[in-house]
Amino acid sequence: MQDSENNLVLVNEKDKGYRVDEVVAVIWSKADGKTLENLVKEIAEETQLDEAELRPHIEMIINKLKEVDLVEVQ
């Protein structure tokens, strides 16, 4: 979803919207039903980046998405 200024917006089940950048939107779109480990592995394979390097960044984003009820990752 985009707002009137073309910012990407994710909306949780409580109908609260949050502006996000493209990186967060991609991680959010891939996270559904996955464990953090599987998500990190998938993104590492797609980007050809090191899993150990990506993990703390992805974990931080997932934790922030969890705080506002935008994602449930196992």
List pLDDT tens digits, range 9-40. 999 999 999 999 999 999 999 998 899 999 99
pLDDT for position 54: 96
Considering the chain, what is the average pLDDT of its residues? 92
Query: What average pLDDT does this structure show over 42-58?
Result: 96
Residues 43/51, Cβ–Cβ less than 8 Å = no
SS3 state at 13: coil
Give the whole-angstrom CA distance, residue 20 versus residue 18: 6
Residues 55/61, Cβ–Cβ less than 8 Å = no
